[in-house]
Amino acid sequence: MKIAVCIKQVPTRDWRPRVNDAGSWIREQDASYETNEPDAYALEESLRLKEKHGGEVVVCSAGPGRVAQVLREALARGADRAIHVDDEALGAADAFVVAGALAAAMKDERFDLILTGLQSDDQGFAQTGVILAEQLGLPHASIIMEIVVGDGGLRVKRELESGWFQWVSMPLPALLTIQSGINQLRYATLKGIMAAKKKEIRREAMPPQATPRQKILRLYLPEKVKHTVMIEGTPAEAARELVKKLRDDARVI
C-alpha cells in the first residue's frame, strides 16, 4: 500500500506571535517551528497502516527551506522518503495555492491513500486536504477517527457533532483528513534518527503560480479588555444567568 502524508510546519504553540510591519502575517524570522499536530496524527496512522498491510509511506510538504526539519523528523519516525515543494512564497500561502503545489508534485506517484491533518494550527481553515482531493480527482472523507482497509476499499469512521459518529465505505485510491486523537503518537528512536539521514528528500520547484483565492487583510493580536457585567434578579435567577454567560459567552464550562 503506497501512502502519502501531507505535513505542515507551523509556529510552536508556546511562541508569542509577532506581526510583521505590513500587518499581513507573522514575523517568520522570529518564530520557532514544529510539526502541525493533526498532521502528526496522520503520519502515525500511516505508519500503523504500513505495519499492518505493508507498503511505503511518503511524507509531502510545501513550504520554505526550513520545512526540511519536519520532513526529517517524519523520516526519523518511520516514513520511507519525502517530497518537498520548496518555495519561500508558500510560507503564508492560502489553501488553494498549497494544494495546487502538492498536487503537481504528487500526481505522478499514484498513491493508494493520501492522509492529511484535519486542519493547521496556524490558519486553521481545514481546506487544504479537501482541495487537494478535488485537484487529484480523488474521493475524500474528513474528520476521520478510524480506518479499516479491506476488499479493495476503506471503511472510515467520521466524527460528527454532539458525540455522533458515522461509518462510510469508499473505494481506493482516496484522501482522508485525520482528526487529532485518532491514535497515540510515537517518538523517533535513535536508530530512526540515524536512518533518516540517509533517506531521500526529493525537492520540487513551485509549479506555475496559482491565483490565491483569499488574502489576509489584517492580522492582529487579541485585544485584552476588562468589562464588568452586573447580574440582577433573585439568587436563583442570577445563578442561572451566571452559568449561561460562563457557558455561552466566556465558554469556560
DSSP assignment of 123-171 equals S----HHHHHHHHHT--EEEEEEEEEEETTEEEEEEE-GGG-EEEEEEE
110 in the same domain as 15: yes
Specify the pLDDT at position 25.
83
Structural domain contains residue 214: no
Residues 232, 200: one domain?
A: no
Q: pTM of this prediction?
A: 0.84
User: Domain check: are 115 and 174 in the same one?
Assistant: yes
Q: Examine the domain organization and report whether 239 and 150 are in the same domain.
A: no
pLDDT(248) > 80: yes
- Greater confidence (186 vs 222) lies with 186
At 156 the pLDDT is: 96
Residue 127 and residue 142 in contact, taking contact as beta carbons nearer than 8 Å: no
Residue 250 domain flag: yes
Our count of domains for the chain comes to 2
- Confirm whether 59 is domain-assigned: yes
Which residues, in sequence order, are CB contacts of 80 under 8 Å at separation 6+? 56, 57, 58, 199
Running DSSP on this structure, what letter comes out for residue 197?
T
Instruction: Read off the pLDDT band of 215 (50, 70, 90).
Output: confident
Tell me: do 164 and 195 sit in the same domain.
yes
Q: Is 71 in contact with 84 (CB distance < 8 Å)?
A: yes
Pair 8, 125 in one domain: yes
Tell me the average pLDDT across 150-169.
92
Residue 221 has pLDDT above 80, yes or no: no
43/110 same-domain check: yes
Identify whether residues 38 and 93 lie together within a single domain: yes
> Is residue 192 domain-shared with residue 137, that is, in the same domain?
yes
Are the C-beta atoms of 34 and 3 separated by less than 8 Å?
no
pLDDT of residue 48: 97
pLDDT confidence of residue 8:
95
Q: Return the higher-pLDDT residue of 144 and 250.
A: 144
Is pLDDT of 137 > 80? yes
For residue 230 the three cell numbers come to: 452586573
Give mean pLDDT, residues 210-239: 84
Domain span at residue 230 reads 223-253
- Name all contacts of 101-108 with Cβ < 8 Å and 24+ positions apart: 101/62, 101/206, 101/207, 101/210, 102/6, 102/60, 102/62, 102/128, 102/132, 103/132, 103/135, 103/136, 104/204, 104/207, 105/60, 105/62, 105/204, 105/207, 106/4, 106/60, 106/136, 107/136
- Between the alpha carbon of residue 90 and those of residues 16, 61, 80, 97, 130, the distances in Å are 22, 10, 24, 8, 18
Structural domain contains residue 212? no
Whether 222 shows a pLDDT value over 80: the answer reads no
Quick check: 220 and 19 in contact, CB under 8 A? yes
d(CA 230, CA 54): 63
d(CA 101, CA 17): 26
Instruction: Please indicate, yes or no, whether residues 130 and 230 belong to a single structural domain of this protein.
Output: no
